[in-house]
Amino acid sequence: MPSDRLLDDDLSLGKGLRDRVVVVTGASSGIGRETALLFERVGARVFATSGDRTGLDALAQQMNDPSRHYFHSADLASTQACEGIIARAIDHFGEIFVLAHVAGALIRKPLFEVTESDWDYQQDVNLRSGFFLNRAACRAMVDAKIPGRIINFTSTSWMMGPLNGSDAYVAAKGGVVSMNRGFARQFGQYGIRVNVIAPGQVNTPMQHVDNDPALVAAAAASCPLGRMGEPDELARVVVFIASDQASFVHGATINVSGGILLY
């Protein structure tokens, strides 16, 4: 059962989330997995989705009561699959209250080696998927008169610029910020709060794939806190934004970088 400390106090992290339906993308690893687990801890019902079926099965094993949740494999590079995620969640649970779009994809290559397919895939997963997921979720919330929450993910690199072969990824993440502002402007009138989180260097599988360990260590050392963030530290921010505690947080790009981006 969820901890009373996380649920019932006026200052609790999960205020207003008990039995609410939360869609979490990228739920098989990293920030997405920790987000799904924390939403369960505060009493929400989780629709966890990822392209990694094995990772989803492992997530189900980590949950206290997987029967309360739903685990759905989907390819976010497909527009049809993105819209299908929201439809499937509503078919199973009857409604959705939160979309936490955590999933992302990074193909590290020097700029002159980036192919058209590399570019297209990273735009599809990092930007296009967000548009169609956000749109489908907002439509469902408006139709059901649910003042829900949309939480997207960008990166501090949207302001700082690309490093270590991340040019295509960063271009998409800049688009996510603009997209988020558009949805926030249009759907605030329905009570739907739309925000985007900008993580800095976080200790996730994506951080280490095709990356020089020396560059990873240098990135951690460059942070004023002297370390990378951990996935659960980002998950706590997601749950806070989704909760009633953040009732006046809307249209924001939230810097969670340990000070690697200062402004």
Residues annotated catalytic, as ranges: 169
Distance, CA of 122 to CA of 110 (rounded, Å):
15
Classified as helix, coil or strand, 108 is: coil
**Amino acid at site 208:** H
Distance, CA of 19 to CA of 212 (rounded, Å):
43
Q: Which residue is associated with the tokens 């749109």?
A: 135
Report residue 134: phi and psi, to 5°.
-60, -45
Q: Is 137 exposed, middle or buried (0-12, 13-18, 19+ CB in 10 A)?
A: buried
Distance, CA of 2 to CA of 191 (rounded, Å):
27
